[in-house]
Structure 1
Amino acid sequence: TIRNYLIGYYIVEYEQNGNDRAKYGAKVLESMADNLKHIKGLSTTNLRLFRQFYSMYPQIHQSLTDESKINLKIQTNKLLTHLTFTHFVELIKIDDKTKRLCYEVETIKGNWSVRELKRQIEILLYERIGLSKDKNALLKSLNCEKKI
């Protein structure tokens, strides 16, 4: 997971000079994938995912010293110790930060596999929690009440 994050960091900060995207027609990812074809798992598709992972989870790079930040984000070490890169691949598909945070928290609390995370996203857990009058009962019924 850290390797993939650092590759994403390298792509954004060095290959794209800190920009969200490379210059039009630069084919940065294709060129990198071709140069790294001898290393397993570094296809153009994966490099795209690594770049997106870095962009969506800047808190991995930042220090969480401000207490107000801690309340709004899961501590980085919990994210990295409880979630695999495949979990992050599913989570980066969620654009809404609050919704993504909800799934991060519930994945860690429930010790969800990637398959279970996908299932909960598909059955709209976040939306169901928002509509529920008794959120704790809903989470208990879904087996989400395991302690971290």
Structure 2
Amino acid sequence: MEKENHISSYNADFICEIKQIVTLARQKAYTAINSAMVEAYWQLGKRIVEQEQQGKDRADYGSQLLKSLSKELTAEFGKGFSVPSLYNYRSFYLTFPEIFSTPWRILTWSHYKRLLTVSNAEARAWYLQEAAEQIWSYRTLDRNIGSQYYERLLLSQRKETVKSEMEALTAPFEHDRMEFIKNPTVAEFIGLAPNSDFTESDLEKA
């Protein structure tokens, strides 16, 4: 019996170690895809701004430039390069003109796209820092911006109560590890055709 228990314990440790290897590998894959997306969209925005600055009539030139660019990129790479998307990449660069090492590698494009909707620069910077430090999911960030969490914290005399309530309400959003990879924009970026019936194995292979 002792021998069986020893073997069982040994197998349990072995299985645990294998699971850790797989988990780490998936995390590396997540980080690589995320970093590539964010950097690519920032670089796109940078080049668009630089090219616009060469136009004589920048307003008209910029509009025509994005239409032509959208047509070419969509033909070559598929969805993800509509004119509104290109405007978002342009705004991304203009709003965050410097590549900062830690936050931009942690947060996803969906995070940044939501942050671009925050007009108050101080609030946007605060949400950026909190999302990166607390590793908020996109849904948590989205809810906190929508519920004016930053403003409520500033006004509240009982900040811990406001914070505890937020954490309780967003707790369900923090458990879906596949949230990022299931995002349609990620599927487009890695070359998966639009399909609402993707299985997790399809996504993991991609």
Specify the TM-score bucket, using the shorter chain as the normaliser.
0.7 to 0.9
Flag structure 2 segments of 5+ consecutive residues without an equivalent.
1-37, 169-206
Change (3 A) 1:18 1:51: farther
Give the Å deviation of 1:108: 1.6
Compare the two structures and name the one with the higher helix fraction: 2
- Work out whether 1:139 is the aligned partner of 2:163: yes
Amino acid aligned to 2:49: V
Equivalent residue for 1:39?
77
Choose the corresponding residue for 1:9, options 46, 56, 68: 46
Q: Any conservation in 2 of the 1:5–1:50 contact (CA below 8 Å)?
A: yes
- The 3-state SS of whatever aligns with 2:118 is coil
Deviates more, 1:120-129 or 1:25-34: 25-34
RMSD: 2.2
- The 3-state SS of whatever aligns with 2:58 is coil
The 5 Å alignment of 1:53-64 reads 53-60=92-99
Amino acid aligned to 1:101: A
Give the Å deviation of 1:140: 4.2
Q: Any conservation in 2 of the 1:110–1:143 contact (CA below 8 Å)?
A: no
- Work out whether 1:124 is the aligned partner of 2:148: yes
Amino acid aligned to 2:88: L
State the percentage of identical aligned residues. Answer: 27
- The 3-state SS of whatever aligns with 1:111 is coil
Change (3 A) 1:23 1:141: closer
* Alignment TM-score, normalising by the size of structure 2: 0.56
Give the number of equivalent residue pairs: 127
Equivalent residue for 1:30?
67
Equivalent residue for 1:65?
none
- Work out whether 1:77 is the aligned partner of 2:101: yes
Flag structure 1 segments of 5+ consecutive residues without an equivalent.
61-75
- The 3-state SS of whatever aligns with 1:35 is helix
Of structures 1 and 2, the larger Rg is shown by: 2
